[in-house]
Amino acid sequence: MSASLNAAATAAPVTAVDPACAEPLPVLGRDVTVPLVTGSEVTYAALDYAASAPALQRVWDDVAAYAPYYGSVHRGAGYLSQLSTDLFEQSRATVAEFLDCRPADQVVFTRSTTDSLNLLAAALPAGCQVFVFETEHHAALLPWTDAQVTYLNAPRTSDEAVATLERALADRAPYGPALVCVTGASNVTGELWPVKELAAAAHAHGARIVLDAAQLAPHHPVSVQDLDVDWVAFSGHKLYAPFGSGVLAGRADWLQEAEPYLAGGGASRTVARRADGGVDVEWHATAARHEAGSPNVIGVYAIASACRALREAGFENLVARERHLITKVREGLAGVPAVRVLSLFGDGAPRVGVISFVVDGWNSSHFAAALSAEYGIGVRDGLFCAHPLVRTLLGSEPQAQGECGAPEAASSSGGTPALNAIRVSFGAGTPDEHVERFVRAVRELVADGAKWQYRTEQGRCVPAV
């Protein structure tokens, strides 16, 4: 492999600094300007990291350095194919190191967290029971269609979460496989879940556990061994890596015993015709068993680059700086009486940079549209693909209507209450000015109202022209 590709693998030690003075990591789009309805322009404040974080400049540079060497993976004898194959497998080792996997664990590359959890769902042994809290993102809530699923009510403390799981597991059938699925950090409230304690409870009752780390891995170190989880899933696009790649890492046995997630080239080791006209197939027992087809080598390399960049930057520094930003936002919102921040575990719960809230007298879609059109701030509104959780937090009926990404229409006169919320999220690339502008905008909108008229278009609130 060329020296330019190897150079990214080393970096100088990082020294802890005052989070208030630390610079954000360079990301793509940090200098992009967007038009406002007033006719002026402003630097875009990307505060929707929980949906897709901007790519790190370091990741983009690494991908650009590799692009001329692009070749087929696991297929060709040529130099570029061999180099790309080496890069692909080295990326697998980088991800395993990033996650502190056990020596026998497999790292399977997928399209996303959703794809990873659906892969695991397809690999469950017959008769497997699945336990999942209603607070999960739909990616973790919905894939278990072929299993016996127990949905657990939303806990209001970390201790209650552990106790709820222990009771459910104690009541299950004493034999047969079982799996617990839990998030590491909520994509709605940002609150950290007691993963290590939940893993201990699962194992004490003969169950396994999979960690949805989509919102945790970009903000905190994730150690498979320390947390003692059986699998972990995450997405590259939330880890500051572009392109559609994800990871499922963990124990190999269930994956090796399952039918391939996709049937085709790459997953098959040998294929032979039978005398009766049929086909005999021997499938790979390695991660390749579930990676049929030509892999997304650029997406995989981008994930590995992001893993290296975060480790080199030092999670201690990243966490300290993010707490500094969280404090700015939470203290700012606390000073606006009309704002109610949504929380399961209370104000003192540890969290990542994900905060959801509602504003009295405002439809959340209208409020988010005004933040964008009048201040150049990008946030998310709706139910965040976690409908049961948001309904619980808003105190609505479990069957109340609402759509992910297209909430109930808002009026132009300030909006009416609806079953949706606003989410602001940030991370390693967020400058102080973005969160300061956000807090100022919230105060001004609540105090003075929107300066523009808005209308509904295809379920979205947009500026009227």
* pLDDT tens by residue, 377-429: 999 999 999 999 999 999 876 555 554 433 444 433 344 446 799 999 999 99
Per-residue confidence (pLDDT) for residue 398, from 0 to 100: 54
Structure tokens at 295: 């892999």
Structure tokens at 318: 């990243």
Q: Please, which residues have CB within 8 angstroms of residue 364's CB and are 6 or more apart in sequence?
A: 358, 381, 382, 407, 415, 418, 420, 421, 422
Determine what percent of the chain falls in helix, strand and coil, rounding each to the nearest 5.
35, 20, 45
Per-residue confidence (pLDDT) for residue 407, from 0 to 100: 40
Percent of residues, the chain, with pLDDT higher than 90: 80
Lowest mean pLDDT, pick from 38-42, 69-73, 255-259, 440-444:
69-73
Per-residue confidence (pLDDT) for residue 5, from 0 to 100: 45
Structure tokens at 136: 């999960």
Q: Give the whole-angstrom CA distance, residue 73 versus residue 84.
A: 6
Q: Give the whole-angstrom CA distance, residue 268 versus residue 256.
A: 13
| Nearest CA among 278, 257, 280, 283 for reference residue 268 | 283
Which pairing describes strands 268-273 and 279-283: parallel, antiparallel, or unpaired?
A: antiparallel
Instruction: Name residue 315's amino acid.
Output: F
Contact in structure between 293 and 115 (CB atoms under 8 Å): no
In this prediction, residues 199-204 reach a mean pLDDT of 98
Contact in structure between 247 and 306 (CB atoms under 8 Å): no
Per-residue confidence (pLDDT) for residue 357, from 0 to 100: 97
Q: Give the whole-angstrom CA distance, residue 243 versus residue 300.
A: 9
Q: Give the whole-angstrom CA distance, residue 53 versus residue 369.
A: 20
Contact in structure between 407 and 364 (CB atoms under 8 Å): yes
With a cut of 60, say whether residue 10 has pLDDT above it: no
Q: Give the whole-angstrom CA distance, residue 10 versus residue 311.
A: 11
Backbone Cα Rg of the chain: 23
Structure tokens at 104: 């026998």
Contact in structure between 263 and 286 (CB atoms under 8 Å): no
Per-residue confidence (pLDDT) for residue 458, from 0 to 100: 84
Per-residue confidence (pLDDT) for residue 409, from 0 to 100: 40
Q: Give the whole-angstrom CA distance, residue 386 versus residue 112.
A: 17
Q: Please, which residues have CB within 8 angstroms of residue 6's CB and are 6 or more apart in sequence?
A: none
Q: Give the whole-angstrom CA distance, residue 244 versus residue 88.
A: 15
With a cut of 60, say whether residue 454 has pLDDT above it: yes
Percent of residues, the chain, with pLDDT higher than 70: 91
With a cut of 50, say whether residue 196 has pLDDT above it: yes
Contact in structure between 209 and 182 (CB atoms under 8 Å): yes
**Whats the size of the chain, residue-wise?**
465
* pLDDT tens by residue, 282-309: 998 988 888 888 899 999 999 999 999 9
With a cut of 70, say whether residue 21 has pLDDT above it: no
The H or E element that residue 406 is part of is none
> So which residues are the catalytic ones?
385
Per-residue confidence (pLDDT) for residue 396, from 0 to 100: 74
Q: Give the whole-angstrom CA distance, residue 294 versus residue 1.
A: 21
Q: Give the whole-angstrom CA distance, residue 102 versus residue 316.
A: 23
In this prediction, residues 200-214 reach a mean pLDDT of 97
Per-residue confidence (pLDDT) for residue 74, from 0 to 100: 86
Q: How far apart are the first and last CA of the chain?
A: 54
* pLDDT tens by residue, 343-364: 999 999 999 999 999 999 999 9
Per-residue confidence (pLDDT) for residue 243, from 0 to 100: 81
Q: Give the whole-angstrom CA distance, residue 152 versus residue 77.
A: 52
Single pTM value for the model = 0.91
Measured CA distances, 206 to 149, 177, 194, 203, 440 (Å): 16, 8, 19, 5, 51
Per-residue confidence (pLDDT) for residue 7, from 0 to 100: 37
With a cut of 60, say whether residue 12 has pLDDT above it: no
DSSP-assigned letter for residue 24? P
Map tokens 């222990």 to a residue: 166
In this prediction, residues 33-46 reach a mean pLDDT of 97
Per-residue confidence (pLDDT) for residue 291, from 0 to 100: 85
With a cut of 90, say whether residue 3 has pLDDT above it: no
Neighbours of 159 (CB within 10 A): 12
With a cut of 60, say whether residue 373 has pLDDT above it: yes
Q: Give the whole-angstrom CA distance, residue 393 versus residue 171.
A: 27
Q: Give the whole-angstrom CA distance, residue 278 versus residue 280.
A: 7
In this prediction, residues 441-450 reach a mean pLDDT of 97
Lowest mean pLDDT, pick from 5-14, 126-135, 326-335, 453-462:
5-14
| Nearest CA among 276, 308, 331 for reference residue 442 | 331
Structure tokens at 436: 């300061």
Per-residue confidence (pLDDT) for residue 19, from 0 to 100: 63
In this prediction, residues 2-31 reach a mean pLDDT of 62
Per-residue confidence (pLDDT) for residue 399, from 0 to 100: 52
DSSP-assigned letter for residue 185? B
Q: Give the whole-angstrom CA distance, residue 391 versus residue 329.
A: 23
Average pLDDT, the chain: 91
